[in-house]
Structure 1
Amino acid sequence: MKTNTFWTRAALRAALCVAAAVSLQAVAWAQGAPATPGASTLTKPARIVVTVPPGGGIDTIARRLATRMAPVLGQPVIVENRPGASGVLGVDNIVRSAPDGSSLILAAGSTITVLPHLMKKLPYDATRDLTPIAQIGVTPLVMLVNSDNPAKTVAEFVAAAKNSPNTMSYGSYGNGSLGHLIGEAFKHASGMTMVHVPYKGCASAINDLIGGQLSAVVCDVGSAAAFLPPGSRLRGLAITGTHRVASFPTIPTFPEAGYPTLGPLVGWLGIFGPANMPKPLVAALVKDFADVMKTDDMRTALAQIGYDIGDPSAANFAKTVQQDGVVWGQLIRSIGGITLE
């Protein structure tokens, strides 16, 4: 008897989908994830978009979240990498998606709150067209100097720069990056001069700092962590944020060093959905993400890239998004001349 090819293929696809869902649940259960569907159970597979290529720290966190959330949502969850245009491509994709909870994005705070002040012709309004759901993690940034630099404190570094004007430079991980903006904010607050040298990532900037081509580097703590223990090639002068990092308790905060305006300038990762999501669905997702973020493996995964667990409150997260947009906007306008267009 002749086999109906269409129905054979359809059955195979269905079997593969079921197998994928079962596999995801099995992995999640083995890692201790909730084994029963949560309040935000969906009716179709879900995806978490990231604005970076596969393999980096943010991509790793997204994949860990996808594994954890699959049994909670009752559906397979895939990670979809949409890098390019400083994150615009990924955000625009979510903005245009159905507000049914199946399309979410794990975005860096700078993509949401800084980019609108550097690119005036975005195809969306981040505050109007996105729904804040969960702040996943928070990370400070650190100003690094070579370990043989005679300046042991921020005050000594500033004094050296003022005694030898126009001789210092600092590196960051790109024009318009948080490292760039914090470096400029520090210059503005201290009254010193330093030439900014943009790199494509922290690793290249750190290599040149070790090699003596730069006076300082401003980057995220996760990228700098391997170079910060006592006896290493680099030394942290100060970090942003309101408290010291537990892993490096000897590095003071910028507010402690006399620069309170640099305290709020931290990085974060957050989950967003499209605008107009039903409030009960948002509330359910908030609860389910908060439960997932309490697990030890999520804390460990975030700590490995220099992040602390974020605030699980959706109301607080929405307020953070709004306040950060104002703070970064004021800073960028006060500095002047920084644009990605």
Structure 2
Amino acid sequence: MIRWIGIGGVLLCLDGGIAAAQAPTQAPSEQPQIYLTPRPAILVPGWPLVVDVEVVHAERGGADGVRDTVLASGWHRHIRLDAWRRPRESLRGKSRPPLLGWPFKPATDNSERLVVSRRGMPAGRRVVHFVLSPEETSKLQPGAYQLQVELDPRSVEGGGGSWRVEVSYSTQLAVKEAPTEVSPSMACDAVHAQTNYLVAKGDVRRAIAVLDEFLVKNAATANALCWGSRGQLSERQGMLQEAVEYYRKANRAFQRDYRPSNNPDSAMESPYQLHCMQLIDTLAGRETRRSEAISPIAEKILPEKILGRPRRDTCD
């Protein structure tokens, strides 16, 4: 008898909180785990939605006797992604509501033969992007949903039968009505969702054009997310110096927008700052040693005599 892999997935709720990822339930060593990551984290109907389906090995480490799992070419066709609506009351002791038949489709019709190993593999090979178009999400009603993914065991080469994996990992996504007034942050979230969608479908050139048009019109108010996303696209294209300049703009936007209310003179570090400093090292042909910590704050306040070297560019 063939059974399906049922993988409990992702919670969509209205309060907008994002839960911390939990460790997945351990599965037999020859079987993979599957993670779901919805993007954006806050969805407005009419924005495109991308859900990353990532396959990883259930075991970590280097113990002997742990077998790899091999997924046949085209394994993404055996994935079924859907959703059901969570009621407000507890489901304890009750059966889950029926699946809603959301029309998720893989962004690209290509998944190569995949060896799921504890030794790791390029992340791009083990992730399949499923999408809903703006027209499809425009029909979604605000509410709490649970995403569920299933993988047909027939996609496993020499699997020797069926297998089932339960995952306790979950993350939250808010589905909200469009606001009457769009803030600069919300405008950036909207264009970022569109950019993610285009990149997932392989249209990087159009994604860059869409983001560039937005940044030209909103240069004074665009937040760190949009500038940082543009830097990531440049880096993806191998244009590292251009990426550094966009990361600088992301860092400046972050410092403009995020200052602790109890100490207006202090500022938090941008999430792009450390990576930008490492990229500057790469461009300069300088390799950062593993034992060498890079601290933007230390670079700014410590004398070079204490640092023991010339001060680094902190990518501000």
TM-score of the superposition, structure 2-length normalised? 0.25
TM-score, normalization by structure 1: 0.24
Between structures 1 and 2, the one with greater helix share: 1
